[in-house]
Chains A and B, each alone.
Chain A
Amino acid sequence: MAFVVVENVSKTYSDQESGIGVPVLRAVSTEIAEGEFVSLMGPSGSGKSTLLTILGAMNHPSQGRLLIDGIDVYALSDERRADFRSQYLGFVFQQHHLMPYLNAIENVMLPLATLSMASLEKRRRGLDVLEKVGLAEKAKRLPNQLSGGEQGRLAIARALVNDPPLVLADEPTGTLDTKTGDEIMRVFLDLNARGQTIFMVTHNPENASLAHRVLHIRDGELELATDSRARTASRFSPAI
């Protein structure tokens, strides 16, 4: 069985004013293998973020099942699902959502705060991932003392610190210019090259095509998947 199995997932939000159900996802099914890099594209409002938060074990689908590592995620209680997120998932949000009052290393260690682990070990892990994204020298900086690209890399470092089997990223380059967007993509590709499973929502077709597989979503339904892996044709050198 694939590492991630999305089985006939539907999601209907109830409209806040009328209370009428608005279907956002309709019977979505797909699979993600271990070590795979999958990107998801689609117009704004098509349900990309909804699918990502469902994969992220924090948005209960109206119908269908999500299996990750064989675990029926939404059969877990709310608190157990929090533990599941802590063990299995790393999130990179569109706006990065860094804590402005914590410095870089503290932001990175945030997912470890609830774990019973020696504080030295937490720090060591934090420095490790900062190293991975090339921010080891800026561990003491506050987020607003970092460039946009550095903030993005910091957000990725935070998503990696708990060593998650699956990294979920929602438009990680969405607010960045092309150059800094490339900086972020470089990190993702590097991670994936070392075996990290990644699911990324993006608006940018070029970035999407860097993944092994691109999913397209329209009006809450997945269109046929393209097997792209056009990385060699991209502006990235294979040296990464």
Chain B
Amino acid sequence: MRISTIALANLRRRKGKAVFLMSGIGIGIGTAVALLSLSGSLRDEIGSQLDRFGANIVVTPHSDSLALDYGGISVAGVSFDQHQLSDADVAGISRIRYRKRLSVVAPKLIGTTEVDGRKTLLAGVDFNSELRLKKWWRLTGRPPESPTDVLLGYEIARAVSAIQAVPGSVANADRATSHHAAMPEEIRVTKEKVSLGGREHRISGVIGQTGGPEDRMVFAQLGQVQGLLGRPGQLSVIEVSALCKDCPVEDIVAQIKQELPHANVSAIQQSVRARAEAVDRLSRFSLVVSAVVLAIGALMVFTTMMGAVVERTKEIGVLRAIGFRKTHIIRSLMIEVVIISAAGGVGGWLAGLLAGRLALPYFTEGGAQMELRLSLAVFAVAVAMGTGIISSIYPVLRASRLDPSEAVRYV
């Protein structure tokens, strides 16, 4: 027989009321969990969408000369620039305050060259960062290692007869259902060397058809291209990827502009950003709705506890009379409240997860996962207990202040 024995016995006796309170808190917590985990998953999905889109900030030189087109981005013409970008600018970008938020900084020099006698766009890149940025590239072969290794775009490779289709590989049923519009063709590299501006280079790999500008380009190491084009240390464009979900892209742009005053810095505003905004609004809405539902739950706890105090006046008076302190009464009632709200929190968390999971397909384009976050469970139980305890403080204090002599009075 301890104080908790009394609390537990009371819970057992008033099962209906306990279940009522539990569901009140549970519904509030469930709503919060469902909405929060839903918007969390949407946020994750947008994060990975941003990942797939690649760069979201592009740095180009100020220029009024003829532009070459690279992936929808105007790249300043090669020879007439006043303000060239240089290797030093890459270092400049890595000095900005938000440098930790940058996942890839990919510098490039783009010019024209002759590949086996054909005039072609040549890009000098840092393969390490470039391949991280262009996640959609499907390489046949290996990433270049030595300075004389090159990657060929699909159409160039065809033009110089460097590849053959692998027979029978096209009709791959699994791949046909994937959401890549152009079905990738399996190819085999059949040529080892290619001449680049008159010098021999090794073909280390071919980029599968993308439908983008890289199909008609050749990629080599940045230093090598700078040498080939006679433009040491120069760059035509730096692509920057700031891929964190809540990146302050505008701030990053401003910081890069400050660091590189001679350059054009622009954020690529994708439709993804509009979606991100919608999700932000959903999260805010979720918070408001959860708060309202929780407040209703709290009010339920409050009124039920007030009722319980009236209902138990005699009982509490007897306990006080036989030597229970005020603090013992408070403890006994609070044990009940904590058990009820913790159970409501766990139940609400489970129900909310389930509801969120069921609702998820209606909000996403598929592929979004609902992670089991321990932090959300802890949060749910903590908020449930907080709500229960806070809304019981007044009724419980009132109970503890009951005058025992009046409570046990026989009228």
Which among B240-248, B277-285, B324-332 touches the partner chain?
Answer: B324-332
* Known pairs A49-B410, A119-B2; A110 contacts B322 (CB<8 A): yes
A58 touches B13 (CB 8 A): no
A106 touches B325 (CB 8 A): no
Tell me the minimal C-beta distance from B305 to chain A in angstroms: 18
B323 touches A119 (CB 8 A): no
Q: Which of B13, B314, B326, B403 contacts A101 (CB 8 A)?
A: B13
A110 touches B326 (CB 8 A): no
Q: Which of A50, A95, A99, A113 contacts B410 (CB 8 A)?
A: A95
Alpha-carbon distance between A162 and B1 when the two chains are bound, in angstroms = 13
CB-CB nearest in chain A for B12: A101
B408 touches A114 (CB 8 A): no
Proximity bits, A17-59, B CB within 8 Å = 1, else 0: 0000000000000000000000000000000011001001011
B321 touches A85 (CB 8 A): yes
Contacts of B321 in A (CB 8 A): 56, 58, 85, 91, 93
* Known pairs A91-B321, A101-B10, A102-B9; A79 contacts B405 (CB<8 A): no
Proximity bits, B294-325, A CB within 8 Å = 1, else 0: 00000000000000000000110011111111
Proximity bits, B1-44, A CB within 8 Å = 1, else 0: 11101100110110000000000000000000000000000000
CB-CB nearest in chain B for A115: B323
Q: Which of A58, A95, A111 contacts B404 (CB 8 A)?
A: A58
B325 touches A53 (CB 8 A): no
A87 touches B323 (CB 8 A): yes
- The bracket for how many chain A residues form the interface is 35 or more
Contacts of B5 in A (CB 8 A): 106, 113
- Asked whether A122 is an interface residue with its Cβ less than 8 Å from the other chain, the reply is yes
B324 touches A122 (CB 8 A): no
CB-CB nearest in chain B for A78: B326
Contacts of A78 in B (CB 8 A): 326
- For window 373-411 of chain B, which residues contact chain A by CB distance below 8 Å? 403-405, 408-410
- Asked whether A83 is an interface residue with its Cβ less than 8 Å from the other chain, the reply is yes
- Asked whether A158 is an interface residue with its Cβ less than 8 Å from the other chain, the reply is yes
- For window 191-245 of chain B, which residues contact chain A by CB distance below 8 Å? none
Contacts of B326 in A (CB 8 A): 78-79, 82
B405 touches A53 (CB 8 A): yes
Q: Which of B320, B327, B410 contacts A94 (CB 8 A)?
A: B410
A59 touches B322 (CB 8 A): no
Alpha-carbon distance between A102 and B326 when the two chains are bound, in angstroms = 21
CB-CB nearest in chain B for A97: B318
Contacts of A87 in B (CB 8 A): 323
CB-CB nearest in chain A for B331: A114
Alpha-carbon distance between A209 and B263 when the two chains are bound, in angstroms = 110
A114 touches B410 (CB 8 A): no
Q: Which of B6, B12, B325, B409 contacts A82 (CB 8 A)?
A: B325
Tell me the minimal C-beta distance from B323 to chain A in angstroms: 3
B410 touches A119 (CB 8 A): no
- Asked whether A86 is an interface residue with its Cβ less than 8 Å from the other chain, the reply is yes
B1 touches A113 (CB 8 A): yes
Alpha-carbon distance between A23 and B409 when the two chains are bound, in angstroms = 17
Alpha-carbon distance between A161 and B326 when the two chains are bound, in angstroms = 21
Contacts of A113 in B (CB 8 A): 1-3, 5-6, 324, 328
Q: Which of A83, A97, A119, A123 contacts B408 (CB 8 A)?
A: A97
Contacts of B404 in A (CB 8 A): 53, 58
Contacts of A110 in B (CB 8 A): 1, 6, 319, 322
B405 touches A114 (CB 8 A): no
CB-CB nearest in chain A for B13: A101
* Known pairs A59-B405, A97-B318, A110-B319; A79 contacts B325 (CB<8 A): yes
B323 touches A111 (CB 8 A): yes
Contacts of B405 in A (CB 8 A): 50, 53, 56, 58-59
CB-CB nearest in chain A for B408: A93
CB-CB nearest in chain A for B322: A111
B323 touches A114 (CB 8 A): yes
Nearest 8 pairs of A and B residues by beta carbon: A86-B323, A109-B1, A59-B405, A53-B405, A101-B13, A82-B325, A85-B323, A111-B322
Q: List 12 A-B contacts (CB under 8 A).
A: A58-B405, A78-B326, A82-B323, A82-B325, A82-B326, A91-B408, A95-B410, A99-B315, A112-B1, A114-B323, A119-B1, A123-B1
